[in-house]
């Protein structure tokens, strides 16, 4: 009997231990599930804010901007003027409201005079002819004429000498016709420049252009238009871009960025695969503004490595690690990306939003941006000194505070924690601009360059082939470089097609140099 009781007790004990283990395992699973739910909730909140929230990271909260200290409120070790004195010197001027805010500029003007009819020119009293004594301007109006298509039939002339012909000998002379822009094609330089301007400046897809041409009386397929662009890209425009690349590799710094593009019919890849359009730009203050787009089937470091071979300067980029593998270069990372990380980590709602670490980080970063805005008026050498005196203490204080926050381990939001780790992991590259007054604080120039491409991509969705994607990069390079140099893209493309088609197959370095968008001779032609 005692043995049976002992056996029963041992069985109960084993069962109890099993139950305890099961409970412990369930507790661990519940804890993991709670973490997963919290993580998913954070992602959902972020996506909801991206879809429905405000998009501007600079003015997410009015109170943040209102409480932001001015340049004169910040304390610096040397000669910082008092806020009161600075405020006394501020003068406000309010512009008079004017309903007509449009500037008609130097557009060609035509004078239209409304003349009296013949019967109205006779005096109603005596019947004699009346004389004009003056004019009165009534109003100004803008006229936009619809584009029209006209076709030119080109003939060559043949001349003969009648005197020699009488002697039994024919002396003939035949005029020489200009070469076509594209061999065996009816496309003119004007037609191709128009298609390129619509597609790469106005972001009008080929299918919409096809409809417009049909309305104007000529049926030209979208495939034909695409073939035109690819042909002139390979014949004339790609050598121009390669020449611009030679100049870019000699610059002190280069902005780099990349954005996705979908390309069909890539060898060995599905049509749904993601390809990339890489963008390389010279500095905003460069005497040779260059913007180059290059298509690549991937995002690996080998693509910028090959493009930037021979470049020995600063790379201004985001935090993508692929750029760090480019030899003989130094990196300067973008502070706007850091700010964006914290902006995206802000809670979408809540009364105590100002007490969050993300909000406080944005305030500190905002102070650095505020000072940098004022320093943009200075020369690079002076800017470097003022950055060291005014911005370096703010940046070092921000990094020290971030390290302290991470060590505490009190951050609950995975997005806030990720923003802090992103910033601290790139501390050295983020600080490199402080030592060089020529380096920008952000990579915004490259992002602005990509913007027109992104708008076009939303309209035409994909490139039909790698050849088309390559031509797309060439044309965007021409268009954006023209804009950066103050040229009208349509006129610049038209000039290149007319000029380079005269030297088809013989594009020397000297000819290409004359076609660079910063050439002062192009100002009168392309503006």
Could you tell me the pTM of the whole model? 0.81
The span from the CA of 438 to the CA of 456, in Å, is 32
300-321 burial: b if 16+ Cβ within 10 Å, else e: eeebbeebbeebebbbbbbbee
Q: What is the pLDDT of residues 51-94, one digit of tens each?
A: 666 655 654 444 444 454 444 444 444 444 433 343 344 444 55
The lowest-confidence range among 32-36, 113-117, 199-203, 324-328 is 32-36
Higher local confidence (pLDDT), 16 or 186: 186
Q: What is the pLDDT of residue 5?
A: 57
Arithmetic mean of pLDDT over the chain? 86
Question: Is the predicted pLDDT of residue 370 greater than 70, yes or no?
Answer: yes
The lowest-confidence range among 133-147, 216-230, 382-396, 423-437 is 133-147
In the chain, % of residues over pLDDT 90 = 61
Task: Report DSSP state, residue 334.
Answer: -
Q: What is the pLDDT of residues 508-523, one digit of tens each?
A: 999 999 999 999 999 9
Q: What is the pLDDT of residue 165?
A: 73
The span from the CA of 361 to the CA of 335, in Å, is 12
How far are the Cα atoms of 29, 448, 457, 476, 487 from residue 277, in angstroms, in the given order? 44, 14, 11, 11, 24
Q: What is the pLDDT of residues 166-201, one digit of tens each?
A: 777 777 888 888 889 999 999 999 999 999 999 999
Q: What is the pLDDT of residues 301-352, one digit of tens each?
A: 999 999 999 999 999 999 998 898 999 999 999 999 999 999 988 887 666 7
Question: Is the predicted pLDDT of residue 381 greater than 80, yes or no?
Answer: yes
Higher local confidence (pLDDT), 140 or 244: 244
Question: Is the predicted pLDDT of residue 98 greater than 70, yes or no?
Answer: no
Question: Is the predicted pLDDT of residue 377 greater than 80, yes or no?
Answer: yes
Residues 441 and 367: beta-carbon distance below 8 Å: no
Sequence-distant (6+) residues with CB within 8 A of 526 are: 482, 487, 488, 491, 492, 495, 517
Q: Mean pLDDT over residues 489-498, rounded?
A: 97
Neighbours of 134 (CB within 10 A): 4
Higher local confidence (pLDDT), 8 or 143: 143
Q: Mean pLDDT over residues 31-60, rounded?
A: 68
3-state secondary structure 52-67: HCCCCCCCCCHHHHHH
Helices (H), 313-391: 335-345, 357-375, 380-386
Task: Report DSSP state, residue 115.
Answer: P
């Amino acid at each position: 009997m005692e043995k049976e009781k002992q056996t029963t007790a041992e069985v109960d004990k084993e069962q109890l231990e099993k139950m305890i283990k099961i409970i412990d395992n369930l507790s661990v699973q519940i804890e993991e599930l709670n973490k997963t739910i919290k993580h998913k909730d954070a992602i959902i909140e972020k996506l909801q804010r991206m879809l429905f929230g405000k998009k501007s990271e600079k003015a997410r909260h009015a109170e943040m901007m209102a409480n932001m200290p001015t340049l004169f409120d910040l304390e610096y070790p040397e000669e910082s003027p008092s806020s009161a004195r600075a405020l006394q010197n501020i003068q406000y001027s309010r512009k008079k409201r004017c309903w007509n805010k449009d500037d008609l500029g130097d557009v060609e003007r035509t004078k239209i005079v409304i003349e009296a009819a013949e019967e109205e020119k006779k005096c109603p009293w005596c019947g004699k002819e009346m004389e004009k004594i003056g004019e009165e301007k009534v109003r100004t109006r803008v006229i936009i004429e619809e584009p029209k298509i006209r076709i030119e039939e080109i003939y060559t002339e043949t001349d003969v000498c009648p005197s020699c012909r009488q002697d039994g000998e024919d002396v003939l002379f035949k005029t020489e016709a200009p070469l076509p822009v594209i061999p065996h094609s009816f496309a003119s330089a004007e037609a191709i420049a128009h298609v390129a301007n619509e597609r790469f400046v106005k972001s009008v897809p080929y299918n919409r252009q096809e409809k417009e041409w049909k309305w104007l009386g000529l049926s030209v397929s979208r495939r034909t238009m695409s073939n035109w662009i690819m042909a002139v890209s390979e014949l004339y425009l790609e050598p121009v871009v390669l020449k611009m690349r030679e100049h870019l590799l000699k610059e002190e710094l280069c902005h780099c960025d990349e954005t996705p593009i979908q390309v069909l019919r890539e060898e060995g890849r599905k049509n749904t695969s993601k390809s990339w359009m890489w963008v390389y730009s010279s500095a905003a203050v460069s005497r040779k503004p260059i913007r180059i787009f290059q298509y690549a089937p991937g995002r690996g470091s080998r693509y910028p490595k090959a493009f930037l071979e021979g470049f020995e300067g600063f790379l201004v980029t985001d935090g993508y690690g692929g750029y760090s593998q480019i030899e003989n270069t130094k990196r300067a990372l973008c502070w706007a990306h850091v700010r964006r990380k914290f902006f995206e980590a802000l809670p979408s709602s809540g009364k105590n939003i100002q007490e969050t670490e993300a909000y406080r980080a944005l305030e500190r970063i905002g102070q650095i941006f505020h000072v940098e805005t004022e320093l943009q008026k200075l020369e690079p050498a002076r800017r470097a000194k003022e950055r060291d005196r005014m911005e370096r203490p703010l940046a070092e204080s921000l990094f020290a505070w971030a390290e302290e926050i991470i060590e505490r381990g009190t951050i609950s939001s995975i997005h806030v924690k990720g923003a802090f780790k992103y910033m601290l992991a790139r501390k050295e590259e983020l600080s490199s601009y402080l030592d060089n007054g020529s380096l920008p604080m952000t990579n915004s120039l490259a992002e602005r360059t990509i913007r027109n491409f992104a708008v076009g991509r939303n309209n035409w969705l994909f490139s039909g082939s790698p050849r088309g994607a390559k031509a797309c990069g060439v044309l965007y390079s021409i268009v954006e470089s023209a804009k950066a140099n103050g040229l009208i893209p349509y006129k610049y493309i038209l000039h290149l097609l007319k000029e380079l088609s005269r030297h088809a197959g013989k594009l020397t370095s000297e000819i290409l140099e004359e076609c660079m968008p910063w050439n002062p001779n192009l100002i009168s032609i392309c503006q």
